Structure 1
Amino acid sequence: MMLDWSVGATRRLSSCDGYDCEIYCDGSISRRLPSCSGCLYRLDRAFHPFALKERSVPTTQSSQTGSPTPMALERVNGYTPLETATLITRAGCERETLPLSRLILKAFYGGCFICLGAHVFLLVVGGSPGLRESNEMLAVMVGGFTFPLGFVLIILTNSELFTSSLFFMTFTCLQRKTSILGALKVWVIGYIFNFAGALFIAGFLCWWANSLQDDTIKSYASVQAEKRVNVQWSVNFLRGVGCNWFVGLASFLAMTSGDHVSKIYCIWIPVWSFVILGYQHCIANFYLVPIGMFYGTNFGVGKYIYQSIIPVTIGNIVGGVFLAGVPFWFLYGRNSPMGLDHGKELAQKKGPGGEPNGDASADMNPREIGPRNVSDDPSQIV
């Protein structure tokens, strides 16, 4: 059902079960009064900014009459995989159209946030020598519970992380919604400034601030750095593959969630899991290895680059692209509504200055009626 829409118009829609659904529009915000119980009317901006569509609502069996009764979709706390694919497409388009200054700042913050979580992890595990001697895996599990802090900060602040962008940009490139050059720009800038943020935390807020005050923690910082570097090249490569598979899963699950509590839970479990499994994250290693080198290790910069940075980064790329981005595109992206050449314009919205404002995430909710302000959006994503 398509209706003409004009500024200031009011539409009263006749619905089932004797209810009326009244919708107001002032040109910028649309809202729905308590809706009918049999039909859900929504404004689907993915196809046309003011296209009013009718959707059926799932039904449940009534305990009294045995007849089907409608169930409101608002009760469902999450999105379907196809709806999630729409959100992923918009997120990738937003990344490509971000102004360079904003992309750089978001990437710098992303590196800082990841390393804040790694810093807390180092303090917890390094400060528990007795637990490490008696049960090292239990110490890693307890410390690993604090590590996802960085990923939560990134998602809830909509910052930029190289490893999660591998998933998003692969997905949208395969949909032909973003270009390969655009994806390379996001990846290269994200990687460089994630690295800068990690070194900022390691050098200024950890080593120079002397936040590792205990000698036991400083000793553990060196030991864990040596364990990350003094292994075979292929081992670090495969650890990188496994890590970013989990990061891609965490990114997808966070997109399926409609509220902050669910997002945090969906991020926490996969990230906690890859820490317990000993997988390697290249951006987190930009903090965990240099901080150990500051306090003394048995390897130098050259070995660190060859044995850790190169294999872990390549492994993260393989895991994010071929184990997360490509499979999820094949399952849900090929037939997504955003694959019908209607979605990229959402990321090309013009700001007051005439350039793309890069805030496609402001309209992330595929079920919502009408446009919303960015400050009101609870679904900001990585």
Structure 2
Amino acid sequence: MAYLSPAEFVTKMVDTGEAKIHMSTRDTLIRAFMAGAILALAAVFAVSASVMSGSALIGALLFPVGVCMLYLLGFDLLTGVFMLTPLALLDKRPGVTVRGILRNWGLVFVGNFLGALTVAGMMAFIFTYGFSVPPGEIGQKIGHIGEARTLGYAEYGLMGWATIFLRGVLCNWMVSTGVVGAMISTTVSGKVIAMWMPIMLFFAMGFEHSVVNMFLFPSGLMLGGNFSVMDYFIWNEIPVVLGNIVGGLAFTGLTLYTTHARTAPQRAIG
């Protein structure tokens, strides 16, 4: 696979972040909507595969197909823009401001949420034949995920909140590494391989992805999950979003940018 050097793909990261900040509202929302919808379908696929095979590892192995599809199509996930857009500000790109970054984050959040919610409604309808029968095994599994990842953390109070925050940090460390992976190669196969590995790792480890949760929790509520919308936001989405910001920016974006774009002077010899 054609490989770009770190200095080359870090420049590409900054260029991409700048382009996303200057993108029109319409295009930002469309791309975010489609990303949220495709990732939601991938989550259903992964859960279905796990239930049918009896192995969570099978679901983790297959889930990255969704991330690869959406990035090859040029769509945007919140976790990706958390990492990319601040780099354009650090690089002092013309017209890039904190307000522009927050605007982009807000639009991508709305688009991702609407896309994931649309698929959640469709899948809940399918699992229950129009809400006329109880959900089957896969639908029940999705409903219970929402309970475990809200009330399960709430049980431990502040330490539960800190735990889910750290799961969010680790998640976007891996997911944003996958986003970068799509930039280190100029071939489709190279991009897919580089994205697949860290995405599989995050899903297998049960880390928390804010956009995946935009599907899991609304669909869980539709399928009879025993938790509330407030439980979802306080004990999942808010700490996960914060963790995703920290993980993507601190462990992927800033480290790569600092050491490859703003390299320190070489140490004198002798």
TM-score, structure 1 normalization: 0.63
8 Å contact kept, 2:128–2:136: no
Output the CA distance in 1 between the equivalents of 2:70 and 2:103.
19
Is this contact kept in 2: 1:243–1:281, CA < 8 A? Answer: yes
**What is the CA deviation profile of residues 359-380 of structure 1, one whole-angstrom value per residue up to 9, with x for unaligned ones?**
xxxxxxxxxxxxxxxxxxxxxx
Q: Radius of gyration: which is bigger?
A: 1
Pick from 77, 85, 93 the counterpart of residue 161 of structure 1.
Answer: 77
Give the corresponding residue for 1:300: 228
Other structure's SS at 2:200 match:
helix
**Which has more helix, going by share of residues?**
2
Q: CA shift at 1:162, angstroms?
A: 0.8
1:148 & 1:296 partners in 2: Cα distance? Answer: 27
User: What letter corresponds to residue 291 of structure 1 in structure 2?
Assistant: S
Q: Is the 8 A contact 1:116 1:149 kept in 2?
A: no
TM-superposed deviation, 1:301:
1.2
Structure 2 counterpart SS, 1:188:
helix
CA drift of 1:329 comes to: 1.3
Moved over 6 A (4+): 211-214
Determine the C-alpha separation between the residues in 1 that align with 2:191 and 2:135. Answer: 35
Greater CA drift, 305-314 or 216-225: 216-225
In the alignment, which of 175, 178, 185 is matched to residue 91 of structure 2? 175
1:110 aligns with 2:35: yes
Distance in 2 separating the partners of 1:323 and 1:146: 25
Give 1:298 deviation, angstroms. Answer: 2.2
CA distance in 2, matches of 1:210, 1:218: 6
Q: What's the CA shift for 1:305?
A: 1.1
- Report the equivalent of 1:273: 201
1:325 deviation in Å? 1.6
The structure-2 alpha-carbon separation of the partners of 1:209 and 1:218, relative to structure 1 and needing over 3 Å to count, comes to closer
**What per-residue deviation string (whole Å, max 9, x for no partner) do you get for residues 332-373 of structure 1?**
2225xxxxxxxxxxxxxxxxxxxxxxxxxxxxxxxxxxxxxx
Question: Which residue of structure 2 aligns with residue 328 of structure 1?
Answer: 256
Whose RCO is larger (CA < 8 A, sep 6+)?
Answer: 2
**Which residue is 2:124 aligned to?**
207
1:71: which partner in 2? none
Amino acid of the residue matched to residue 311 of structure 1?
P
1:333-344 alignment, distance < 5 Å: 333-334=261-262
Provide the residue aligned with 2:112 in structure 1.
Answer: 194
Tell me which protein shows more strand as a share of its residues: 1
Q: Distance in 1 between matches of 2:242 and 2:170?
A: 12
Out of 120, 123, 138, the residue aligned to residue 217 of structure 1 is 138
Matched, 1:125 2:50: yes
Aligned to 1:259: 187
Does residue 5 of structure 2 align to residue 83 of structure 1? Answer: no
Specify which of 12, 17, 20 is matched with residue 95 of structure 1.
20
CA deviation map 1:150-197 (0-9, x unaligned): 211121110111100111112222111132222111111001110111
- Classify 1:183/1:217 alpha carbon distance in 2 versus 1 (closer, same or farther; 3 Å): same
Partner amino acid for 1:146?
L
Mapped to 2, the partners of 1:305 and 1:147 lie a distance apart of: 24
* Contact persistence 2:64–2:195 (CA under 8 A): yes
Code of the aligned partner of 2:49? V
CA distance, structure 1, for counterparts of residue 193 and residue 240 of structure 2: 26
The question of whether the paired residues in 2 share the 8 Å contact of 1:175 and 1:333 is answered with no
Kept in 2, the 8 Å contact 1:174–1:329? The answer is no
Q: CA deviation at 1:214?
A: 6.5
- The alpha carbon displacement at 1:127 in A equals 3.0
Equivalenced residue count is 250
Q: Distance in 2 between matches of 1:290 and 1:127?
A: 23
Contact (CA 8 Å) 1:81, 1:332: kept in 2 or not?
yes
Residues 96-115 of structure 1: per-residue CA shift (max 9 Å, x gap): 22111111111111111111
Structure 1 unaligned spans of 5+ = 1-75, 132-138, 336-382
State the 1:282 CA deviation.
0.6
Post-superposition shift, 1:211?
Answer: 7.7
Identity %, equivalent residues: 28
| Structure 1 residue 126, shift from structure 2 partner | 2.7
In 2: Cα distance, 1:172 partner to 1:328 partner: 13
Q: TM-score, normalised by structure 2?
A: 0.88
Whole-angstrom distance in 2 between the partners of 1:144 and 1:201: 20
